[in-house]
Chains A and B, each alone.
Chain A
Amino acid sequence: MNSIYTNSIYMNRLSKSFGQKEVLTKLSLTVLPGEIFGLLGPSGAGKTTLIKILTGQLSYTGTAEIMGKSCNSLDRNIYSEIGMVMDNSGIYERLTCYDNMILFAKFNHIKKEQVIDSLKQVGLTDIKTPAGRLSKGMRQRLVLARALLHHPKILFLDEPTSGLDPVTASEIHKLLLKLQAEGTTIFLTTHNMVEAHKLCDHIALLNEGNIVEFGKPDEICRKYNKDNIISILSRDGRTITIINNPDNAKQIAAYFAEDKVEAIHSSEPNLESVFMSLTGKELDL
């Protein structure tokens, strides 16, 4: 597929219902090539459903396009352009990691050397181990290696670090940033706001099938920074909160002049508190 496209993912008034229940309501958003886009929302918000729609697994109403192609009529060849890591991405448990990878390498005419490289890329070195004996973190690495095997232009990740230890999660984060630097567009769903803030260029907050906020993580946090408070931790251990306005500038400067400041923090809301203020719900449900 060599067609020219402006947006990696584009959707306009996209809706999806299961029977009478509408699970996605008139979603509109754009994901640009080479960016990491995060879709945040609690369980049941419709994140996985949206990935299934974008990868041609579910029908919908409205407009949804991936690399300029309508998601309702995706050609099978699209699957050589995208990679997916879903929470239920099956692996052959009796086969070794290497054999799992070789099968998919053959579908895509990929050489064995590349299989080894992909496994090394995600830190899987014990390639002769049957996949069924891998820990959850290692299984996730194997699924990620499989998704990266054919160098996809767009990578869909559904809760990629859910349930993983911090070290493994951090290594996966590094890998995602490396892939982004190489030009891969990454669409990830998560309910981990720290992960979203750390990785994503843009995020959308999804609640009950509606996008309640969209933008850059920092900009969203600043937008909802209504209290505009500065916290000063003084050398004697006290925390002093001051409203950040010109009237208080002299008072803050005085603390510095008197060498009383141990640390100073602005206190913008984080994504979770923004989500809570918008929906009344917590993200990590």
Chain B
Amino acid sequence: MHVQNITALFQKQLKDSLRNMPVLVLFFVYPIIALVMTQAMKNQVGMGTFFVSIFATMHCVFTPIVTTSSIISEEKENNTLRVLFMSNVTLKEYLLSIGGFVLVSNLVTSCFFLLLREFTLKQALLFLLAIGIGSLVSIILGACLALFSKNASAANGLSVPFGMVFAFLPMLANFSSGIETVSKFTFSQQVSYLLAGKEFTGFGLIVLGANFIILCVIASVLYSKSISEE
């Protein structure tokens, strides 16, 4: 594995995404909605925490799923991915650079949430840790969808509903204990608990670990399939 290839692809993705409005917007949309909602309902006690945790969950679930899948599938469709492979770049290097870019971008834009309510330093670090965990699992899910899809439109067709299901389940679970019974087994619900200020629990860690492992296994299968097609 060549670190130089990873950093070159990371820089390329940064330049490309700065000119790619749909992807760029995704990184800012939930922090901005959270700002609007917290400002609109700032007189109501507890709403700031509620909105920040809800939109931060969406930010670290929906955004990485859709952006990762969009970036990878666009490269597949435009044939740039094949050109990269014919230039000594491995699929592993590529996925690490794109995943790294989405993770860093998501963490940086997540800092905006820290301005919307009061955090102690420990709370802020735990908040960013939760964002990082949620983003990481979501990136793997987004990569799975892109590897599975034949082209960009197919990937978008899959990633948006997947993103919505995982991002909206925690919000709906606030209003329905029935939904929470199911959603507590998803990584997004556990991340949502952490973003709302709850402590790590053994059950939560098991769910996060299980979700992570299952998605890694799926990604590995799809990765192997892509390698053989490559």
Contact = CB atoms under 8 A, between A and B. Distances in A.
Contacts of B226: none
B79 A88 contact: yes
Contacts of B19: 94-95, 130
B83 A107 contact: no
A55 B86 contact: yes
A5 interface: no
Contact of A94 (B9, B16, B81, B82): B16
Contacts of A89: 79, 83
Contacts of A77: 88
Contact of B15 (A95, A104, A106): A95
A162 B15 CA distance: 31
A92 B16 contact: yes
B8 interface: yes
Contacts of B89: 107
Size band of the interface chain B makes with A: 20 to 34
Interface string B5-49: 101110110011001100000000000000000000000000000
A130 B16 CA distance: 11
Nearest to A130: B19
A103 B9 CA distance: 7
A241 B75 CA distance: 59
Contact of B12 (A57, A76, A92, A109): A92
Contacts of A107: 4-5, 8, 87-89
Contacts of B86: 55, 57, 79, 84
Contacts of B20: 94
A90 B88 contact: no
A91 interface: yes
A99 B19 CA distance: 13
B80 interface: yes
A106 B87 CA distance: 10
A279 interface: no
A239 interface: no
Interface string A72-90: 0000110110001000111
A94 B86 CA distance: 21
Interface string B79-118: 1111100111110000000000000000000000000000
Q: Which of A84, A90, A130 is the most central at the interface, judged by chain B CB atoms within 10 Å of its CB?
A: A90
Nearest to B89: A107
A80 B89 CA distance: 11
A219 interface: no
A243 B225 CA distance: 64
B201 interface: no
A93 interface: yes
Nearest 7 Cβ contacts at the A-B interface: A90-B79, A90-B80, A106-B8, A94-B19, A90-B78, A103-B12, A88-B79
30 contacts: A76-B88, A76-B90, A79-B86, A79-B87, A79-B88, A84-B86, A88-B79, A89-B79, A90-B79, A90-B83, A91-B80, A92-B16, A92-B78, A92-B80, A94-B15, A94-B19, A94-B20, A95-B12, A95-B16, A99-B15, A103-B8, A103-B9, A106-B4, A107-B4, A107-B8, A107-B88, A107-B89, A108-B87, A108-B88, A130-B19
Given A106-B7, A107-B8, A107-B88, 9 more contacts: A57-B82, A84-B86, A89-B79, A90-B81, A91-B78, A92-B78, A95-B19, A107-B87, A130-B19
